[in-house]
Chain A
Amino acid sequence: MSLIDFFIDPVLRGPTWGTLFMCIASGLIGSVLLLRKKTLLAESLSHAAYPGVILGVSLFALAFPAHEEWAFVSVLAGASFSAFLALKGIEWLMRRKVSPDAALCFILAVFFGAGIVAASSMQSQLPSWHQKTQMLLFGQAATMTGIHVALYGGLALSIALFFLLMYRPLQSVLFDRDFSSLLGLNVKWLERLIFCLLLASLIVGIRSVGVILMSGMIIAPAVAARQFTHHLHRMFFLASFFGALSGLLGNFLSIWGSMYLSTETERMTLPTGPSIVLVGSCFAFLSLLFAPQRGLVSRLFRIGAFRLRRLEENILKYFWKKGTLSRKILHETLHVPMWALFLVLRRLKKQGWIEGAYSLTPDGMKRAASIVRLHRLWELYLTEQLKLETGKVHKTAEEMEHILTPDLEERLTHLLGAPTQDPHQQPIPEKSRFP
């Protein structure tokens, strides 16, 4: 079975396209919720949709028992209704000084309990229909047909269109709600629309991932996207991208996994919902670790790079003060281990800042002088402008010399009037005009 088969084969393409659309939608909505810090609302509402689904299907089964293929309409209607009730319930509780998380959990649990009761009733009265609703707990993408794909595709498209057309108002409201309403934006209507879209993506999602894991698909792609950018439109795009990828890969994983684990005698199914959520979460965790700017690994790398530069500059400065030095002397005075010195000195030599049995090259001289200049400028700033004692400024200047940017240096020079002497009566090296 090749990859293309997943998109074309009549049995496989339903689930593949269906989950794809659903995950795009949930990624987009999830971004909004993440920025609003309301991701757990999705958790509460998805569980609260359950009783509505059961009731909807039961009523449909009693009214139109022959038209099973259209049952999903009742799923949509029921889910929307009970999720809406749940939202009102949460707002009502919060107005009565119940803390938000307690309100979310209470509504979640009570509604879900009602759903369980309704489901058990259905189990005894309408057993064949009951089977269908059970799949909504953990999702069953495998049985999605053309109608589903069309509907969910339509929903996903509407959500994407909304985000495209309403980008500016959305951006404004997400950033500063009060200011936006002052500007004349109809914030209330926008929020109602967003809530409708949330409902839509929840409903689309519970078919493939199930009620219980739905919030995972809302949160994970958005978290992953957030790590890569702080531009809103890029975040939306990335969230839908990660969502789509998770949906596809999760789907593949569950089908391949099931085939791999099934033997001649034992039929094994790796459930789709959990697979998709696992893949999505993996993306989220990987992004948290490795995203170029915000990732943890990137941060650690930057810290390491800063410390290395600091060490190099301190060594260069020491050369500037003392002339020619051996590794041994450096080790004794700066208290840096020999192996580290060996590596750093080799790097400095390779880059052209030092030469021979260690002394500064002309380039090295200039660089060292510029660091000393920063150090002494800062000391002067602290004593003259901030009135610190002369004896106390050396230590903090030792740190600041590695941090001051050329821009700050210029402002300092300007503020202090192009000074030539530091508080300890030592000369401040001039800014070299040539590289």
Chain B
Amino acid sequence: MKAWEVEDLHVNYGKKQVLWDVSFSVPPGVMVAIVGPNGAGKSTLLKTALGLVEPLSGKIDLLGQPVKKVKQKIAYVPQRESVDWDFPITALELILMGRYGRLGLLGRLRQADREAALRSLELVGMGDFAHTQIGQLSGGQQQRLFIARALVQGGSLFFLDEPFAGVDLATEKSIVSLLQAQKEEGKTIFSVHHDLPTVEEYFDWVILLNTRLIACGPVKQVFTAENLALTFGKSQELFDEAASLSAKSISGIV
């Protein structure tokens, strides 16, 4: 059974073709980097997998089933800009949100949930900040909170969107070791990553994306100079133009 399987995925955004005919599959228990230039559709791929974006066509399966059925097993770490940091919530309360998925409609948070949240806070080194309002924390600390929340969700699939953007090196290293520890326990981790030099060091697999899939596979096999040239190079100008024309025709926009 594959951790993440995608077939013939097309995603539009108005007159822009964001993902074109993407198909790949990833086995469980690996740490995967999603790499590509700006606007390549990496965040969109993540969001489509999680059911936050409706694709034009195509199929997505997580752990062999459609997204709706495996919501309990997914942990999502969004980009830091997508969150309102002025929201009146403390660090501990944010992490406790990770447990909401298990409670159903009317359930209450219990002692076990609070303890799990506190332990998770300790694990990311933020034990002292349990009652601090989230806006008062630094970038690295906020990112660690998100990781802690993902840990507390207890899922087997992790989806992270640029977790290392604007984060100090120490935080980055500690997050990587946390994630790798999760991988050792059999979880699968997908992370949109923009720092090419560290791909080989942190990840086992890589998905190279530039509106279409360039390659998907183990880092050693697929992370080659040739593939990188295809991903980041200019040979697809024609393709991008044609793809955007196609998007316009389909949505009737001029």
Contacts and interface: CB of A to CB of B under 8 A. Distances in A.
Q: Tell me, yes or no, whether A and B come into direct contact in the complex with CB atoms closer than 8 A.
A: yes
Contacts of B226: 387
Given A299-B252, A301-B252, A303-B250, 17 more contacts: A97-B86, A294-B254, A298-B252, A299-B251, A303-B251, A306-B249, A306-B252, A381-B239, A385-B235, A385-B236, A386-B230, A386-B236, A392-B21, A402-B249, A408-B238, A408-B242, A408-B245
Given A302-B254, A395-B21, A408 B241 contact: yes
A359 to B, nearest CB: 29
Contacts of B238: 381, 385, 408, 411-412, 415
A293 B254 contact: yes
Interface string A85-98: 00000000000010
A306 B212 CA distance: 24
B48 interface: no
B246 interface: yes
28 contacts: A298-B252, A299-B251, A299-B253, A300-B252, A301-B252, A302-B254, A303-B250, A303-B252, A306-B249, A306-B250, A306-B252, A378-B242, A381-B238, A381-B239, A386-B230, A386-B235, A386-B236, A386-B239, A387-B230, A392-B21, A395-B21, A400-B242, A403-B242, A405-B245, A408-B238, A408-B245, A411-B238, A415-B238
Nearest to A411: B238
Interface residues of B, number: 21
B242 A404 contact: yes
7 cross-chain pairs, A with B, having the tightest CB-CB distances, nearest first: A299-B252, A303-B252, A302-B252, A403-B246, A306-B249, A293-B254, A403-B245
Nearest to A405: B245
Nearest to A300: B252
B222 to A, nearest CB: 12
Contacts of A403: 242, 245-246, 249
Interface string A388-418: 0000100110011011110010011001000
A303 B8 CA distance: 22
Contacts of B252: 298-303, 306
Contacts of A404: 242, 245
Interface of A: 97, 293-294, 298-303, 306, 378, 381, 385-387, 392, 395-396, 399-400, 402-405, 408, 411-412, 415
Interface string B139-153: 000000000000000
A385 B252 CA distance: 29
A405 B239 CA distance: 13
A402 B250 CA distance: 11
B253 to A, nearest CB: 7
B24 to A, nearest CB: 12
From B212, B238, B254, name the one whose CB has the most chain A CB atoms within 10 angstroms.
B238
Nearest to A97: B86
Interface of B: 8, 20-21, 86, 212, 226, 230, 235-236, 238-239, 241-242, 245-246, 249-254
Nearest to B227: A387
A303 B15 CA distance: 13
Contacts of B21: 392, 395-396
A345 to B, nearest CB: 23
Contacts of A412: 238
A412 B236 CA distance: 12
A381 B239 CA distance: 9
Contacts of A408: 238, 241-242, 245
Nearest to A302: B252
Most buried by A among B20, B246, B249: B249
A399 B243 CA distance: 10
Contacts of B212: 386
B192 to A, nearest CB: 22
Nearest to A292: B254
Contacts of A298: 252
A404 B243 CA distance: 10
Nearest to B236: A386
B204 to A, nearest CB: 23
Nearest to A304: B252
A399 B246 contact: yes
Nearest to B210: A386
Nearest to A384: B235
Contacts of B253: 299
Nearest to A412: B238
A217 B230 CA distance: 53
A93 to B, nearest CB: 13
A138 B254 CA distance: 40
A381 B20 CA distance: 16
A411 B240 CA distance: 13
Contacts of B230: 386-387
A411 B212 CA distance: 21
A408 B212 CA distance: 19
Contacts of A381: 238-239
A400 B20 CA distance: 12
Contacts of B246: 399-400, 403
B134 to A, nearest CB: 14
A95 to B, nearest CB: 14
